[in-house]
Amino acid sequence: MRRTFDALAERVLAGGRATRDEARAVLGTSDDDLLDVVAAAARVRRRYFGNRVKLNYLVNLKSGRCPEDCGYCSQRLGAESGALSYTWLSPEQAADAASAGVTAGAKRVCLVASGRGPTDPDIDRVARTIAAIRERHADVEVCACLGLLGAGQATRLRDAGADAYNHNLNTAGERYADICTTHTYADRVSTVEQARSGGLSACSGLIAGMGESDDDLVEVAFALADLAPDSVPVNFLIPFDGTPMAGRWQLTPQRCLRILAMMRFVFPDVEVRLAGGREIHLRTLQPLALHIANAIFLGDYLTSEGQAGHADLDMISDNGFVVEAAGEPSLPTARAAAGMPVTTAGNMVAPPTNLVRLRRRGAGTDLPPNT
């Protein structure tokens, strides 16, 4: 099998991408072949993105109270998840939150608000928020994620200083009605298209772990490819209590790595972002995922906690990667010399000095052992 995946990597590096059959083959590999798949995908990742990891930071501008019924979401209509619920942050509050991520190394701030889609006054509010953030961090990338877009709203966001717009397809079109009934798959496709036509960089991805088949994953991957996004977040279902998908633990770390590898072969020179649920599904295999994906969310998500930000930075450094700096182009098509990625050794995290902790539990003490 190694020769098969090496051949696939060679073809992708020569300017191609995986076919649907090859994408299914990646998803269908055995655990015995998993490292060969990861190694082949890592070759592609290294060619186009070197050893850089782009950090993205989420700011939840408005949480909960959503009228939509997306089955995976802790903010959905009727959810009893216990997720935080609050109205719009002020521009100053949002800028404070964004500064925490930028100070820790985030290159992009993602401004998210629950709801079906923004009203025109909401666009004005977000515009003021972008201005407040840029007053402090002129070079930071800003991505908005506000739901379904209306006519002209993408252009207004671009004019306000937004760089990108996120709206995920989430799953294959044929099964979209299984996870949401208050809007359609076509609505989502239309929003991504509006973002692009309005001059924003398109960001759109998927959620794995919702009962989809390999064919469903391949279908959504190629539907995304047709939309030509610049970044593709790969989320793994967080099965919140109080939602229809509570208790749905269908993913293994190995399955997650195969999904990421498949996406890398379909999107060789596009930002593939390791997104929600990575900690609870990849667990100790998170570092391997960095050899496939070239971006992560730093710290917490919209309504759930991620691993500590310093742990993310340690993981990046320990695996020989560096944080992508603000002045570096993210996509290889923007480089002066394609295939010659820039590294930034100055972004390496200093080695920790507090790793040695004297044992105070177990044998010879009154405390239970660490087992």
Q: What is the DSSP string of 31-87?
A: GGGHHHHHHHHHHHHHHHHTTEEEEEEEEEEEBS------TT-TTSTT--S----B-
Nearest-angstrom CA–CA distance, 261 and 324: 21
Sign of CA dihedral 36, 41, 42, 43: positive
List the catalytic residue out of 45, 52, 76, 110.
110
Q: Which two tokens stand for residue 44?
A: 């592609």
Which amino acid, residue 308? A
Within 8 A by CB and 6+ apart from 225, the residues are: 17, 266, 267
List the catalytic residue out of 66, 145, 180, 256.
66
List the catalytic residue out of 203, 256, 264, 278.
203
Q: Is 273 among the residues known to form the active site?
A: yes
List the catalytic residue out of 70, 145, 180, 256.
70
Sign of CA dihedral 202, 208, 214, 216: negative
List the catalytic residue out of 76, 143, 156, 188.
143
CA 73 to chain centre: 16
Q: Is 256 among the residues known to form the active site?
A: no
Beta strands in 25-94 (DSSP E): 52-62
Nearest-angstrom CA–CA distance, 348 and 316: 9
List the catalytic residue out of 76, 158, 273, 278.
273
List the catalytic residue out of 17, 73, 76, 108.
73
Q: Which residues are catalytic?
A: 66, 70, 73, 110, 143, 203, 273
